[in-house]
Chain A
C-alpha cells in the first residue's frame, strides 16, 4: 500500500494510535462540504454529460418557441397554428439546409411538429418535475413523521398510506387529474395533483430508512444533547437517507411522464390544444408505419430526459455521500454506467497506479470488506461488541 510505506517502515515500536495520528497530520488537504460535493459530482462523467444534455433540452424548448409556445422565441411558428401540409409532412432537417421549413415535419393538419415537440417537452418537464417534487415532498414528510414518532402518529399515517396504495393508481390519478382541470394553473396544477397519488412508495421507503436510523448512536447522541425532533429529522436523518430519496425522485420523474401520457389518452391529462410528449406519441401511434417521425421525435426526447435524469440522480447520490470515495480510474465512466466494462479493462485498471484526482492519499478507498491492511474477516478486536 503506497500510503502506508512512510509510516510502517519505521513504526515497529510505535503504537497504532501514534502511527494513525501521524498519518492524519501528514495529510494536509481538506475541503469544505460544498467543495467536496461539487468536485465529486463534476468528476462523475455520466452525470456531468447528462446534466449538459438536460440543460440543453430545457433551453432548447424554452428559447425556441418561448414560454407561451406561440413562436415568441427564435422559432417563429406556433405549436397550435395549422397550415398546409407540405410533402406529406416529411421532416426537412438536413434536406433543405440545416433545419428547413419544418425540421421535424408536420402533422396531419399541417401544424409544425418541431414547435409541437418543443411545447410537449415544456409541458412534460413541468409535469415530471412537479410530480416528482410534490410526491417526494409528501412522501418524505409522511415517512419521516411516521418513522420518527412511531406510536399513534405512525399508525394513522401508515394506514392512510395503505388506503392510497389500495386504490388503483390510475383511477386515483384520473380523479385528481379531472379535478385539476377545473382549477386555475393549468399543467402545474395537474402535476401537483398527480403528486397526491404517487407519494406512497417514497413514504414507505423513507419510513423504513428512518426506522433504522433511529437506532443509530449519533441519533441517540443528538437526542441526549436535547436537539429538537425537527433538527434531528432534517439534519441527521434525511441527509443520511438522501440516497433513497434521490433515487426515488428520479424514478418518479420517469414514471410521471408515462403516467401523464396515459392520463392524456384517457382524457384526464393535458388537454388539447395543449400538448405533451406523451400526448404526441399517443395521438400519432397509428402513424408509426407511415409517418414514423411523428413517433420518433417525441420518443427521443422522452428517452433523453428520463435517461439524463437517472444519471444525474446517480451522480448526486455519489456526490452527497461522503462515504463514496471513488476517485480517478475507479470513477464510473460511460462504459461502467452501461455495464460494458470488460475484464481486461478491470485488470488493466487494477495494475495502474492510483491517480489522485480529488484529494490526498487518504482518498483511497478499500473495497467493501477490506481493512487497509487486509481483508476484514470480521474477527479483529475492533469487531468486538459488548452488550449495549
Chain B
C-alpha cells in the first residue's frame, strides 16, 4: 500500500461569528491515494467544501482549524503562508464550479496559463507559451495555437472548464481538488469533462478529491466515496458498496431521493413513477369548453431584440398540452426552453405564429381579456430566493393573485392562503413570516402555493427544482405531483434534467438551438429516442450505479463515434 497523497485527520473547523461559534466540520478523516478518485458527497451545509478547503488554506479569517492535513506526509496546517503558496498549484490544485468566474475576463488565456507556469518556475517566456499550447491541446481545445490568444469570453462554458483544468494540471500536481466541477455545465458537456478528468488522472497518476452532490457523477468517476452530513462523515467505502449496498440510513435516503431515468424494460414502467393524474380524467376542473387544449403553440417563433436588431431564438415551435397533462420541455443551455416559458407568461412578445391558451390566441387579445386569461396561468420559477418579494409576508405573497384579480375579500383570501399552506404542508404560522426566514425548498413550496391560488388550468414551471438539494427536490417533486392530481392543472414543465421530467411528465418535447428535435410521449422519447441528439442527451445523464454507468459510458462513446 502506497502512501496517501492527501490525508485528512480528525479535521474540525469552527467559525467565529457574531452569534458565537459555528461548528462547520466536526472531526472528519479520510485519505486520497495517488491515482484515486475520492468523492465527497453531501447536501448544502454538510461541510464538504469547507473540509476540502482546509488543504488549500483557503478558509476565511474567522475559521479555526483543528486536526491535521497531510500532503504527501507534510502537514499543511503548520506551514507558513509562503510555503503554502508554493504548494498551491504545484502540489495541489483546484478546479472550481463556475468556469465563468474562475478565469479572469480581461486577461488572455495565454497570460493566465503562462502565469501559472512562471509562478512555480516550471517554464518561462517562449517555453512557457509552448507548454501552455501543449496543455490546451492536452485538454482538448481545438486549434490551441491560435485560440490561446483569445479571451475567456470567446470560449464556451465547457471549454472554459477545460482551460481551468489545464491550469490545474499545469505543474503536475499530486492532488486535484475538484469542487462541483460539472454542476454548472450541461449533461453532455459534463460527460465530456468527466471523461477528460478520468483520462488525466490515469495519465498523471494524480489523486482527485471530487466534491459533488450528484450521485451520478460519483458513480461515473469515483473509486471511493465519503458521505457527509452536518459536518460529520456518516459513511465511507468503495463506490460499489456505498451506491450498491449503503448501510447508513442517510445514504439510503440520499440515493432514494435521486430521480432516476428509467430504461426500457424497467419494472416500474407503464405508470409514471410518481403517479400523476391521467389527462383524460381531469375531474373537479371547471372547464366550460373541455375540448380546447390548455396550451397550444402553432408555428411560434420568438425573438429578442437588442438595439433594433432582433435575434430569433425559437423557430417553428408546435405543441399541444391537453387539460390535466404535464408536458416536459427539455434541452440544454441556449436551447430556448425558458424563452418559450416566458412567451407563454406574456413576458415576451410572440414574433410569429399563434400561442393559444384555452383556445384563445393570448398575445393578440385586448388587454382586459388578456388579464382575465392570465388568471388561468400560474407560474413557478427556478430561483426560490428571487421569485418571492422579500418585502411581502408569505400570506400576502400567496393571496396576491386574488388581490390582482379582485377575487374575494380579506377573510376568504386568508382562508384560501391557509388552505394552500396546508396543501403544500407548511404550518399556518408562516403567514406572517418573510421569505428569507424559510429554506429554499420551503420557499419553492410557497411559490407553488401562489401559482395555485386561483385554481389555474395551466401551470408554467421553469426549472422549479434545479436549485434545490436532491432530498429537498424529491420532496418538492412528490408534492408537485400530488397537487397536480388534486387540482388537475395542465403543466408546461421546463427542465434540463431528463430524470425529473421522466418522473413527472406525460409527454416530452426536446429542443436544441431553438428548434424542436423530437416530441412525443415520455416513454417514446426517453426510452425509444429516434433522434441522435436525444440519444446523446440520454446517454450523457449519469446514473448512480457504477456498473450501469460504465455500460452507459461505453454506449455513449459508441454513439459519439457514429458520424452524424
Contacts and interface: CB of A to CB of B under 8 A. Distances in A.
Interface of A: 1-2, 4, 8, 11-18, 20-21, 24-25, 27-28, 30-33, 216-218, 220-228, 231, 236, 239-240, 320, 322-323, 330, 349-351, 353-354, 362, 364-367, 369-375, 377-388
Given A226-B370, A379-B96, A21 B17 contact: no
Contacts of A379: 49, 96-98, 179-180, 183, 211
B75 interface: no
A217 to B, nearest CB: 4
A382 B253 contact: no
Contact of B469 (A226, A227, A382): A382
B23 A220 contact: no
Contact of A386 (B346, B405, B427, B463): B463
B216 to A, nearest CB: 13
Contacts of A1: 19-20, 22-23
Contact of A373 (B20, B45, B374): B45
Q: Max chain A CB contacts within 10 Å: which of B19, B60, B467?
A: B19
Given A12-B250, A223-B347, A377-B53, A24 B427 contact: yes
Interface stretch (B318-326, B388-396, B483-491): B388-396
Nearest to A370: B17
B440 A382 contact: yes
Given A217-B387, A224-B374, A374 B15 contact: yes
Interface stretch (B236-244, B279-287, B429-437): B429-437
Contacts of B23: 1
A364 B18 CA distance: 10
B24 A374 contact: yes
Contacts of B381: 217, 220-221, 388
A226 B431 contact: no
B386 A217 contact: yes
Nearest to A220: B347
Contacts of B250: 12-13
A8 B371 CA distance: 47
Given A227-B404, A228-B404, A382-B469, 10 more contacts: A30-B433, A32-B432, A224-B379, A239-B391, A365-B19, A374-B50, A377-B49, A379-B97, A380-B45, A381-B470
B466 interface: yes
Contacts of A227: 400, 404
Contacts of A239: 389, 391
Contact of A387 (B19, B234, B338, B439): B338
Contact of A225 (B44, B180, B214, B400): B400
Contact of B24 (A236, A375, A380): A375
B436 A221 contact: no
B374 A226 contact: yes
Q: Max chain B CB contacts within 10 Å: which of A17, A350, A388?
A: A17
Contact of B475 (A8, A17, A354): A17
B16 interface: yes
Nearest to B383: A217
B183 A384 contact: yes
A240 B19 contact: no
A385 B347 contact: no
